[in-house]
Amino acid sequence: MSFIKNISLSLITFISVVKVSASSALCLTPNSHVKMFASSFRSGILERAQNIALDKTNFKNSESIHAENDLDLINKITHSFESGCKILVGLYTSKECLLIGPIAKKNNAIIISPTCGHPDIEQFNGNIFTLVPSLETYMNFVSKALSDEDKKDKDMLVIFQPSDLFSNKSYLLFKSKYMGNIKSLRLNSDGDFYKEDLNLLAQKYTTIHILTYPIVAAKALTELNNKKFISKDMTLIGSSSWAFDTTVLSKYIDIVKIFNRSLVPTLMKQETLTSSDFYKEYSKKYNEPPLGIHFMGFDAVNISKECLVKTINKKIDHTLIKKCLIENKFNGVSGKLNFNNKTPFVSREIYLTNLTKMLQMQD
């Protein structure tokens, strides 16, 4: 049942991102004169992580603000920044970070994002801190890992979604870094292949590399399986947003199992996650296991809280928070996290994980 709930939650979340674009904002008031403002595109996910993180603290008078779309999000966050909020926890998508980045910069506010990884965030260094390494770093790791597979002389089929900011950027970065031959198969936002690209399926490939959201990828995999395109001698690798969560793919494990190997570069070790207190507390509170992005959200809130606590009774200034973030090493439930003043992206480990085993553990 937990698996189905996870799937459902992921699906709902995905739909909210792609179709409805519902957003939420959370404003916390640790004391009478200090406000911590958090925002999330994936509202329910951040709220649950925040609830776990703040349950045992003296943060009270919390405030949650929900945004209907990007414009609504911009307006509400602008209003909050102008009202004195200096720390923003949330913003899951790169698009959100890129939209809110200029506003944060203008208002000297700090954004602590659980998952924004777009390289263009660099321009907001000092205002945005994200718990993921840069997409460039990530894709560099992926291309290096695949190049090491000694199959770079064979064609790789790369599946991506040009109309999605993160997927498109992931593809462009991978393409620029990978040394082997690649053929690109495009998907639309419904997960359907571009008709003009279907002729690519007449050829055999050693590796299928998917660079889009897992739920879209699941539909693409199903279609490929229906076309008898997948064979035992193939390798499957899912990167880009697969780094944060692949739970939805548990339903398609039979297709994943067909591949000779299935890999996913992740930011978290599955074994570490399931043994954490957060995992147990979350499972007990919500009667289902947390997703990968819950861990990221939990760490983002905790880091914010930690820095906020260290600056308590002082006049809140973004420089104090920034200093706290840069000078401290954080040991989060998702892994060890280190920030510096040169880049908004965190310095953390990337693991090349066996997808099949990971899905079996998640199930």
Minimum distance from residue 120 beta carbon to another protein (Å): 8
Give the binding range for another protein (CB under 8 A) out of 26-34, 164-172, 198-206, 316-324. Answer: 164-172
Give the binding range for another protein (CB under 8 A) out of 188-196, 223-231, 252-260, 314-322. Answer: 188-196
Q: Show the binding pattern over residues 100-139: x = contacts another protein (CB under 8 A), - = does not.
A: --------------------x-------------------
Minimum distance from residue 360 beta carbon to another protein (Å): 35
> By rule CB under 8 A, what count of residues binds another protein?
20
Closer of 164 and 299 to another protein (Cβ) = 164
Per-residue 3-state assignment (H helix, E strand, C coil) for the chain: CHHHHHHHHHHHHHHHHHHHCCEEEEEEECCCCCCEEEEECCHHHHHHHHHHHHCCCCCEEEEEEEECCHHHHHHHHHHHHHCCCCEEEECCCHHHHHHHHHHHHHHCCEEEECCCCCHHHHHHECCEEECCCCHHHHHHHHHHHHHCCCCCCCEEEEEECCCCHHHHHHHHHHHHHCCCEEEEEEECCCCCECHHHHHHHHCCCCEEEEECCHHHHHHHHHHHHHCCCCCCCCEEEECHHHHCCCHHHHHHHHHHHHCCEEEEEECCCHHHHHCCHHHHHHHHHHCCCCCHHHHHHHHHHHHHHHHHHHCCCCCCCHHHHHHHHHHCEEEECCEEEECCCCCCECECCCEEEEHHHHHHHHC
Q: Is residue 61 close enough to count as binding another protein by CB under 8 A?
A: no
Minimum distance from residue 70 beta carbon to another protein (Å): 5
Q: Is residue 246 close enough to count as binding another protein by CB under 8 A?
A: no
Tokens of 99: 């939209």
Closer of 47 and 164 to another protein (Cβ) = 164
Q: Is residue 189 close enough to count as binding another protein by CB under 8 A?
A: yes
List the end-to-end C-alpha distance of the chain, in Å, as a whole number: 9
Minimum distance from residue 204 beta carbon to another protein (Å): 27
Give the binding range for another protein (CB under 8 A) out of 42-50, 133-141, 163-171, 220-228. Answer: 163-171
Q: How far is CA 15 from CA 7, 212, 361, in A?
A: 12, 14, 25
Closer of 62 and 168 to another protein (Cβ) = 168
Q: Show the binding pattern over residues 11-50: x = contacts another protein (CB under 8 A), - = does not.
A: --------x-x-----------------------------
Give the residue, chosen from 63, 126, 149, 162, that forms a contact with another protein under the rule CB under 8 A: 162
Minimum distance from residue 152 beta carbon to another protein (Å): 26
Site for another protein in 67-106 (CB under 8 A): 69-71, 74-75, 95, 98-99
Closer of 191 and 332 to another protein (Cβ) = 191
φ, ψ of residue 353 to 5 degrees: the values are -110, 145
Q: Is residue 176 close enough to count as binding another protein by CB under 8 A?
A: no
Can you give the binding site for another protein, defined by CB under 8 A?
A: 19, 21, 69-71, 74-75, 95, 98-99, 120, 162-165, 168-169, 188-190
